[in-house]
Every structure is written in structure tokens, then in C-alpha cells.
């Protein structure tokens, strides 16, 4: 899925999850599995996340610290991702894979 299609999918997901066709963001709990450099560092854990529609992309904010991951940066995790810079692959109507174009990490995110 190219960046434009990934952005479109996330915009539709925000609207579906919020049950509002005019929604520009959605915040809630998602189940995340994170693989960094081939190692699973988070396995199906519930993490607070927020998706925000920008002009030409969707930002995804991860609230790792709020969910007990104080050293998330040392784990190779980031606090924000963007459909402009990361690859988005639709897995189902409410789940997707977010991956680094260079292959350093991938997150599976299910709402």
C-alpha cells in the first residue's frame, strides 16, 4: 500500500472508530505487537494511541509511558509515526501494520 492509500485507510479508520464522518482524530486503546530489529519487544499489549488527520497524512501518537514503558526509546520505539514516512498495510477493517521503509521495525496495531 503506498502512502496515499495508507493515509486514506487511516482517515477512514478514524471516522469508523469515532462513528463520526467529520472526525479529524481518534484516541483510544489499541493492541500492539512491536518488532524492532527482528526482536519482539512488545507482544499484544494494550497501549493508548491517538491518530490525527493532517493535511496530507495521518500522525499516530503512542503513549508508551502512560502504559508502563518508561524506557520506550531504549527499546527502539518512537512516540510518533506518520503515514507520510512509514508504510501502512491494511490487515483488516480495524487493524494494520506500520513499518519502517528500511525494515528496522514494524508494529501490528489493532483497535
The answer to whether the beta carbons of residues 105 and 37 sit under 8 Å apart is yes
Kindly report the CATH number assigned to the domain that includes residue 13.
2.30.29
Query: Domain range for residue 25?
Result: 3-110
Backbone angles phi, psi at 32, to 5 degrees: -125, 135
Interatomic CA distance for residues 107 and 111, integer angstroms: 13
pLDDT tens for each residue of the chain, 111 residues long: 555 589 999 999 999 999 999 999 999 999 999 999 999 999 999 999 999 999 999 999 999 999 999 999 999 999 999 999 999 999 999 999 999 999 999 999 999
Number of domains within the chain:
1
- pTM score, whole prediction: 0.92
Amino acid at each position: 500500500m503506498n502512502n496515499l492509500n495508507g493515509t486514506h485507510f487511516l482517515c477512514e479508520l478514524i471516522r469508523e472508530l469515532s462513528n463520526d464522518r467529520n472526525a479529524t482524530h481518534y484516541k483510544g486503546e489499541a493492541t500492539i505487537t512491536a518488532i524492532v530489529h527482528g526482536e519482539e519487544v512488545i507482544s499484544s499489549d494494550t497501549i493508548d494511541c491517538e491518530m490525527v488527520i493532517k493535511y496530507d497524512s495521518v500522525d499516530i501518537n503512542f503513549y508508551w509511558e502512560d502504559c508502563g514503558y518508561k524506557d520506550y526509546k531504549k527499546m527502539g520505539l518512537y512516540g510518533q509515526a506518520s503515514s507520510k514516512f512509514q508504510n501502512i498495510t491494511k490487515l483488516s477493517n480495524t487493524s494494520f501494520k506500520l513499518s519502517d521503509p528500511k525494515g528496522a521495525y514494524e508494529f501490528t496495531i489493532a483497535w
